Chains A and B, each alone.
Chain A
Amino acid sequence: MYDGKLIIPGLLIFLVLMISPILFNGLDAGPVPKPEKPVGVTKCVKSAQYMRTSHMKVLDDWRDETLRDGDRTPVEIDGVKYEKSLMNGCLKCHTDKKKFCDECHVYTSVKPYCWDCHYVPKETF
């Protein structure tokens, strides 16, 4: 192999860099996020598991239904009506963005741009 004495150490350094997170942290994925649940409410518009994986889909569907089809009939769960809205629906129960939304978003390093336009409860911008 030409230049083997450069290529092989180079590959080794690359390999070490690539697995460095595992070398440092082992198989520990860090503290699991614990989003704070709203007090006094037990049921969400969908099951907790569905919301965990697909809340963005719910929000997208609501957006299209309200805006495009003009269908703003509230979602009714156990006699309680929830507006199909992030600001005027979800955030009425989940009043603390930092302790709820940000918990998982920060952990999984997703940066949704909801907050560029939608107000966070009690927000001063």
Chain B
Amino acid sequence: MDIKRRQFLKIAGLSTIAGIGAPAAFNLLLKGETSPVSYASSGGSAEASHDDAPAGVRLGMVIDQKVFDANIGLAQKCVTACHTVHNVPDFGKDNKKDAIKWIFEVPFEKAFTNKSHYHRNAHLHDSDFLVLCNHCDNPPCVRACPTKATFKRKDGIVAMDYHRCIGCRFCMAACPYGMRSFNWRDPRPFIDQTKHNKEFPTRMRGVVEKCNFCVDRLARGLQPACVEATGNTGAMVFGDLNDSHSKIRKVLDENFTIQRKPALGTQPSLFYII
């Protein structure tokens, strides 16, 4: 057979690429670093894996919807508290496109998309549920972030370093709860100058932001701002999920709680008493 020079080069090139690539791919699969099956499609079985929570501190939160239902306006107080201490801009009610949200209220069917909504009772029908970042133990946003701007700390907090964020928004696509917001425009002119927190920075155009579980306040021995805003109503309980003597564990032991989309295997650290 008569091979032309051009054809020979093509074949040689392709074989080289295959030769370089194949061992790497095989090694990864053999070591099990990439699972051939994607997590998102693994459906129900992932729920069981929530048992093997890591040792050490793992911060979490319980939101008691019954208390919020009994105290009209309390949820909004939490939102205002969080957005004030973290200098979250307010673009007004009409501008949904630019909105930045760390914590906000949504109806039952938006918060718990995989629960049945058929003939739900008046309580579930009428109440709005507070949602914020779940600080997942297996956070897809961290896996998606190419710059390590989003990372998981030892205490379970999924935090962000805005200096490193390049605004690619992979994390927003990866978060199955929609808990991240992108700064489409400079947020500073939309922060209330009379109330803003001078101890906390703002963000700039082109970065993503979200709830940070008040990591800066915890360092000063304070409770998260939203939890503080609920006062002694018990509407929100914050603490170490791995400490069997903590208040949050007591609440979890005594109540039936649900989580948002547990079947995805993200292992959220937020629990809801419905």
Quick check: is A70 within 8 A (CB to CB) of the other chain? Answer: yes
Kindly list chain A residues whose C-beta atoms are within 8 Å of the C-beta of B203. Answer: 117
Q: Which of B7-15, B70-78, B155-163, B225-233 contacts A (4 or more CB under 8 A)?
A: B155-163
Quick check: is A90 within 8 A (CB to CB) of the other chain? Answer: no
- A70, A87, A117, A125: the one within 8 Å of B153 (CB): A70
Asked if residues B189 and A116 are in contact (CB atoms below 8 Å), the reply is no
Asked if residues A117 and B201 are in contact (CB atoms below 8 Å), the reply is yes
Smallest CB separation, A80 vs chain B (Å): 19
CA distance A111 to B163 in the complex (A): 15
Asked if residues B161 and A63 are in contact (CB atoms below 8 Å), the reply is yes
Residue of A nearest to B157 (CB): A70
Question: Which A residues, 74 to 125, have Cβ-Cβ distances below 8 Å to chain B?
Answer: 87-88, 113, 116-119, 124-125
Quick check: is B259 within 8 A (CB to CB) of the other chain? Answer: no
Asked if residues A68 and B162 are in contact (CB atoms below 8 Å), the reply is no
Quick check: is A15 within 8 A (CB to CB) of the other chain? Answer: no
Kindly list chain A residues whose C-beta atoms are within 8 Å of the C-beta of B91. Answer: none
Quick check: is B247 within 8 A (CB to CB) of the other chain? Answer: no
Asked if residues B219 and A117 are in contact (CB atoms below 8 Å), the reply is no
Range of interface residues on chain A?
10 to 19
A-B CB contacts (within 8 Å), total count: 36
Residue of A nearest to B203 (CB): A117
Asked if residues B155 and A88 are in contact (CB atoms below 8 Å), the reply is no
Kindly list chain B residues whose C-beta atoms are within 8 Å of the C-beta of A63. Answer: 161, 163
Greatest chain B CB density within 10 A among A87, A113, A116, A118 is at A116
Asked if residues A68 and B199 are in contact (CB atoms below 8 Å), the reply is no
Smallest CB separation, B100 vs chain A (Å): 14
CA distance A60 to B154 in the complex (A): 20
CA distance A71 to B219 in the complex (A): 9
Kindly list chain A residues whose C-beta atoms are within 8 Å of the C-beta of B151. Answer: 68
Kindly list chain A residues whose C-beta atoms are within 8 Å of the C-beta of B193. Answer: 124-125
Q: Given A70-B155, A125-B189, do A87 and B199 touch, yes or no (CB 8 Å)?
A: yes
Greatest chain B CB density within 10 A among A66, A67, A113 is at A67
Asked if residues B161 and A70 are in contact (CB atoms below 8 Å), the reply is no
Quick check: is B198 within 8 A (CB to CB) of the other chain? Answer: yes
Quick check: is B181 within 8 A (CB to CB) of the other chain? Answer: no
CA distance A87 to B161 in the complex (A): 16
Kindly list chain B residues whose C-beta atoms are within 8 Å of the C-beta of A116. Answer: 204
Asked if residues B204 and A113 are in contact (CB atoms below 8 Å), the reply is yes
CA distance A72 to B256 in the complex (A): 37
Smallest CB separation, A110 vs chain B (Å): 16
Question: Which B residues, 144 to 186, have Cβ-Cβ distances below 8 Å to chain A?
Answer: 151, 153-155, 159, 161-163
Asked if residues B154 and A70 are in contact (CB atoms below 8 Å), the reply is yes
- A66, A68, A119, A124: the one within 8 Å of B201 (CB): A119
Smallest CB separation, B88 vs chain A (Å): 13
Kindly list chain B residues whose C-beta atoms are within 8 Å of the C-beta of A124. Answer: 193
CA distance A117 to B161 in the complex (A): 12
Chain B 192-207 per-residue mask, 1 if CB under 8 angstroms from chain A, else 0: 0100001101111000
- A66, A117, A119: the one within 8 Å of B162 (CB): A117
A residues bordering B, Cβ < 8 Å? Answer: 63, 66-68, 70, 72, 87-88, 113, 116-119, 124-125
Identify the 10 closest CB pairs spanning chains A and B, nearest first.
Answer: A116-B204, A117-B201, A72-B219, A118-B201, A125-B188, A117-B202, A117-B204, A67-B161, A119-B198, A88-B199
B residues bordering A, Cβ < 8 Å? Answer: 151, 153-155, 159, 161-163, 188-189, 191, 193, 198-199, 201-204, 215, 219
Excluding A117-B204, A119-B198, A125-B188, 12 further A-B contacts by CB distance (< 8 Å) are A63-B161, A67-B161, A67-B215, A68-B151, A70-B215, A70-B219, A87-B198, A113-B204, A117-B162, A118-B201, A119-B201, A125-B189
